[in-house]
Structure 1
């Protein structure tokens, strides 16, 4: 499904805020590392872009303005690349093994009487993130540990 860039950035930001950052998930999903890197880039790249541009212009003068703009644009694009990857990932359908795991976790949440969204027949990574977040927030550690052993 073709989406606009703005939609993918929004979806990536939503996915970034939905995905649970738990140590149990680091070994199974690249999302944890991408989210950590994206959050770091969101905080650190804008000031780094300003400082690097200012230092370049201060050192070499305004003759190097095109290079300073290119360096600043590069630093500012790094968090956007992370959000774009997350937005694209959130919209992907789950592979069969993860789909079964999604159904299992969803059924366990319903069995325990937890608040959970309606089960999707063709879940995507965004729905998996929501179910995992609900599981970590609403189930105790003994039950969530059983999903990763």
Structure 2
């Protein structure tokens, strides 16, 4: 099933927002580093693009206008690129070791009588983010 560009951006934002903001996750999940970078770019991307546009013009002169436009367009596109990459990552299936850990986590949640709609077969990174979000919101 093909997603539109807007749906892909929304899925990427959902994936980024589902990850709990916990510093200990960086030790266990390498994907969390990409989530942190995406959050930074989403938060500060527009300001960095404006800075990349203004700095060469202010310090070198108006003859740098073309380069300033190119730099600012590139930096301004980074938030959208990050969301597309997060969308792609959210659809990837978990590696076997992480999938086993995920399944045991889902079983623990079900043992606590938590009625969640977590997938057990072929979990993706989006499912992992959902599990971590549910787990940390219960604490």
Match of residue 28 from structure 1: 28
| CA displacement, residues 17-62 of structure 1 (integer Å, 9 cap, x when unaligned) | 111232332112123222222222222221222233133334421x
Structure 2 stretches of 5 or more lacking a match?
Answer: none
Kindly indicate whether residue 61 of structure 2 is the aligned counterpart of residue 60 of structure 1: yes
Deviation at 1:75, TM superposition (A): 1.3
TM-score normalised according to structure 1 size = 0.79
Contact between 1:53 and 1:68, CA under 8 Å: does it hold in 2? yes
Q: Structure 1 residues 69 and 130, CA, compared in 2 at 3 Å: closer, same or farther? A: same
Work out the number of aligned pairs and report it: 138
- Structure 1 runs of 4+ with >3 Å offset: 1-7
Contact between 1:116 and 1:131, CA under 8 Å: does it hold in 2? no
After superposition, the CA RMSD in angstroms is 2.1
Structure 1 stretches of 5 or more lacking a match?
Answer: 141-149
